[in-house]
Amino acid sequence: MNSPSDKNMGIIKGATGDWEMVIGLEVHAQVTSKAKLFSGASTEFGGEPNNHVSLVDAAMPGMLPVINAECIRQAVRTGQALGARINKLSVFDRKNYFYADLPQGYQISQFTQPIVGEGVITLDLEDGTTKEVRIERLHLEQDAGKSMHDQHPSMTFVDLNRSGVALMEIVSMPDMRTAAEAGAYVRKLRTILRYIGSCDGNMDQGSMRADVNVSVRRPGGELGTRTETKNVNSVRFIMQVIEYEARRQVDVLEDGGTIRQETRLWDTAKNVTRPMRSKEEAHDYRYFPDPDLLPLELSDELIAEALASLPELPDAKKERFTAELGLSAYNAGVLVAEKESADYFEALLTALADATGKSAGDLAKKAANWVISDLFGHLNKAGKGAQDSPVSPPQGAELLALVEDGTISGRTAKDVFEIMFESGRGAGEIVEEKGLKQVSDSGEIEAIIDEVIAANPGQLAQYRAGKDKLLGFFVGQVMKATGGKANPGLVNKLLKPKLDG
Ligand code: ADP
Ligand code: MG
């Protein structure tokens, strides 16, 4: 029987008691590089089938692989960004198997001696807490080609454009306990890869995909047998696979069955996993060191230069935003999730501090709130990222500076921002043209208050007879008479004494 799982604890309530899910992910991330791992062919996405294929990628006899230094550098940088051990000596192995999209008959990969060893990723969970997930290894390998079954009624075609493209396989330890943690892991990994530019993280183009390993056990007990669901290409699907697989396994076990260690596929139409083949073991691949490639030795210079090339990483940025700028962990987390968002926020804050003469610390919370609610709200609706914002950071700062110095109210700023976002025009210009300046002149406001009171003698009498609620009515009338431009703080201050007589 299926029963709802407790998403927070990763506990599944079965008929025979509680079960705990255990998850480990193998993420394949395509290395950002113009050329493939062992050939000069282009790695560009799209393009006509078999247009980016060199003789090496097509496995013509006698061709020799030549290692692409940029892919090595990117793998080292990624290992460093994951706080992982860099192995100065690593080895490329042949992983032998037969498949139509693998003309070599083997994939060049790394088995016993990967380029990167143990590391760690810190997950930012929804409740604001963090959790560390250990990385077991990162190794480099070639991608295979693609079989296309939808081009002809009775034949399968093969496209070798991806054949030989460099992948980093990043393997986690089985440290995750909920689908939400696995989602947070993939998002965080993607954020880190994008920050350092070693993978574009575009899951919809296949640049990042995950093999999802799931098992269940009695809470805290021995690890159960896992299944591995291959090539899952979105965070949502990864989470669905985990929920589905864990529940399926509990049902099998509670019915007295056993879990087979096998490879499965996610059926996106039916939202179920299906068996693909029984799990192959390492010896099935008859791994051996590729005789065409020397062991890879990294120089100290390469390692030092790779480290020096890393930008400030998301965890460090988040720490700085909370410790130095006083942002909440939640807001800081939202801002650093994409490098472009964090860059936008920092450029805005600098420009705003310049424009107002106030300190960044005093302005940071307001600036963060505006970026997260107003700007991101509009960008999300328009399907744009911060880097494509029609309102630049200095333009955003100009708008917020007008609120800071009292020229316009926060309410008016929202309307002005609408126009800026549509037209790309500056805030000052729009405020001027539409006459939106806030009225902060007490004399002017007082005169309007007098008119409003004179025009509403009935309400005034009721107010004075004790109907306090009517204060709101008078505030509303004054705002209306000024077209919403009266400084609301000033209205409240001046109105009450006059009403009280
Ligand atoms: P393979 O190449 O055979 O899939 P790897 O060691 O490369 O083996 O990857 C195994 C993956 O499965 C790792 O991500 C690991 O964390 C995960 N894993 C291992 N044991 C379990 C288990 N009992 N339950 C869930 N995940 C597991
Ligand atoms: Mg695997």
Alpha helices in 48-92 (DSSP H): 69-81
| Candidate from 26, 181, 215 with most ligand 1 atoms within 8 A of CB, to mutate | 26
Which string of DSSP letters, residue by residue, matches 241-269? Answer: HHHHHHHHHHHHHHTT-----EEEEEETT
Please report, for the chain, the start and end positions of each structural domain, with discontinuous segments joined by +: 4-307, 314-434, 442-500
User: At 214, which helix (H) or strand (E)?
Assistant: strand 208-217
Per-residue pLDDT at 435: 85
Fold of 442-500: Arc Repressor Mutant, subunit A (1.10.10)
Q: Which amino acid is at 144?
A: A
Cα–Cα dist 21/9, whole Å: 9
Nearest CA to ligand 1 atom 5: 171
* Cα–ligand 1 centroid distance for 223 (angstroms): 11
Residue 256 Cα to ligand 2 middle (Å): 27
Instruction: Give residue 279's pLDDT.
Output: 73
- Span from the CA of 250 to the centroid of ligand 2 (angstroms): 22
Ligand nearest to the backbone CA of 280: 1
- Which atom of ligand 1 is the closest one to the Cα of 281? 3
DSSP tag of 246: H
- How does DSSP classify residue 150? S
Dihedral sign, Cα of residue 331, residue 333, residue 338, residue 342:
positive
Q: Please report which ligand is nearest the Cα atom of 136.
A: 1
CA of 134 to the centre of ligand 1 (A): 12
The SS3 assignment for 128 reads coil
pLDDT along the chain (501 residues), means of 10: 47 94 98 97 92 96 96 98 98 96 96 98 88 98 94 95 97 97 97 97 95 96 96 97 97 96 94 86 89 97 98 97 96 95 98 96 97 97 96 97 91 94 95 87 90 94 93 92 84 91 78
Question: Helix 329-336 to helix 314-323 angle, to the nearest 10 degrees?
Answer: 140
Ligand nearest to the CA of 133: 1
Which ligand 1 atom sits closest to the C-alpha of 224? 23
333, two tokens:
């987390």
Closest CA to 115 of 147, 71, 149, 153: 71
Q: Which structure tokens are listed for 109?
A: 């990969």
Handedness of CA 217, 223, 227, 231 (dihedral sign): positive
Strand pairing category for 5-6 and 11-14: antiparallel
Q: Which two tokens stand for residue 50?
A: 């078999």
Nearest to 211 by CA among 263, 142, 175, 164: 263
The ligand 1 site (C-beta within 6 Å) comprises 22-26, 171-174, 213-215, 223-224, 226, 228
Select from 21, 116, 118, 213 the residue to mutate for testing ligand 1; criterion: most ligand atoms less than 8 Å from CB.
213
Q: How far apart are CA 300 and CA 311, in angstroms?
A: 20
Q: Take atom 24 of ligand 1 and give the residue whose Cα is closest.
A: 215
pLDDT of residue 7: 46
Return the pLDDT at 9.
66
Q: Which of 72, 38, 82, 75 is nearest to 57 (CA)?
A: 38
Separation of CA 365 and ligand 2 centre (Å): 44
Nearest to 238 by CA among 475, 14, 28, 459: 28
- Which atom, in ligand 1's list, is nearest to the CA of 282? 3
CA of 314 to the centre of ligand 2 (A): 28
Q: Which secondary-structure segment (H or E) carries 380?
A: helix 376-382
| 3-class DSSP state of 465 | coil
Q: What's residue 83's pLDDT?
A: 97
